[in-house]
Amino acid sequence: MTSGAAPATSSGQRTRGYLRAVGAVLWKDLAAELRSRELLSAMLVFALLVILVFNFALELDLATRQTVTSGVLWVTFAFAGTLGLNRSMAVERDRGCLDGLLLAPVDRSALYFGKALGNLAFMLIIEAIILPVYSLLYNVNLFLPGLLGVVLLGSIGYAAVGTLLSSMAVQARTRDVLLPILLFPVVLPVLIPAVKATNAVLLGLEAAELWPWLNLLIAYDVIFTAAAFMLFDFVVEE
């Protein structure tokens, strides 16, 4: 850990210390992942398998693809995301990292933002691989600026809530089955607008069709990041 909470004299210094603590937690996750690559490879293989299953379950021919691509993409992201969230928190717990991090003299919320950014980064990496693969397999261009924006906004909301809920789920006896049950009903207001907005971009609808969904996504991201920021303290309290 860096000396995140060195006696701060000015607020500027305190902000810098806080950001350094967030960066340290994020860097710890990324560095550990770069070394082992177990989480990313599991998420990636799983995501590809989900797409494969959808291919046969829905017979993704040209006509169906028009309407279901957005749904297939988001279900894939959501499932792969659950896998990643569960794993990233379980690792903290199994190796006793959580206790170590809690002992560190940093604000608890810095821990939250570090973990949330790490989870977001993993999701974005997976999405950055899945999108071109999907484009290639089904010959649709998914690299539209609007779509990338929707993916980013949706992933932020998903990671913000997912980090909070997965840190509760790993502390429960039934942890492996608990996370999706806790997460999916609460994250539904991210998935619905994300699917609809993705669809609107893919069908080339006008911006007026897209904005209500984007506004909803932004509102969700803001509300739930703020709520998770305030509530995370109580989740890791020992």
**Binding residues for another protein, per CB under 8 A?**
161, 164-165, 168-169, 171-175, 178, 181-182, 185-189, 192-193, 196, 212-213, 216, 219-220, 223-224, 227-228, 231, 234-235, 237
Q: How far is the CB of 213 from another protein (least distance, A)?
A: 7
Q: How far is the CB of 153 from another protein (least distance, A)?
A: 13
Using the minimum distance from each CB to another protein, give the nearer residue, 7 or 185.
Answer: 185
In the numeric block, the tokens 């609007």 are attached to 146
Using the minimum distance from each CB to another protein, give the nearer residue, 139 or 174.
Answer: 174
Task: Output the CA–CA distances (angstroms, integers) from residue 23 to 86, 91, 118, 150, 229, in the order listed.
Answer: 21, 19, 10, 25, 16
Using the minimum distance from each CB to another protein, give the nearer residue, 19 or 181.
Answer: 181
Q: How far is the CB of 128 from another protein (least distance, A)?
A: 26
Using the minimum distance from each CB to another protein, give the nearer residue, 112 or 134.
Answer: 112
- Pairwise CA distance, residues 152 & 87, whole Å: 21
- Cβ atoms of residues 162 and 170 within 8 Å: no
- Identify the burial level of 10 via C-beta atoms within 10 angstroms of its C-beta, where 0-12 means exposed, 13-18 middle and 19 or more buried: exposed
Q: How far is the CB of 188 from another protein (least distance, A)?
A: 5
Using the minimum distance from each CB to another protein, give the nearer residue, 132 or 212.
Answer: 212
Q: How far is the CB of 177 from another protein (least distance, A)?
A: 9
Using the minimum distance from each CB to another protein, give the nearer residue, 3 or 215.
Answer: 215
Helices (H), the chain: 11-36, 38-58, 62-94, 97-103, 108-138, 145-169, 175-202, 207-236
In the numeric block, the tokens 């967030």 are attached to 22
CA contacts within 13 A on the Cβ side of 113: 16
Q: How far is the CB of 183 from another protein (least distance, A)?
A: 9
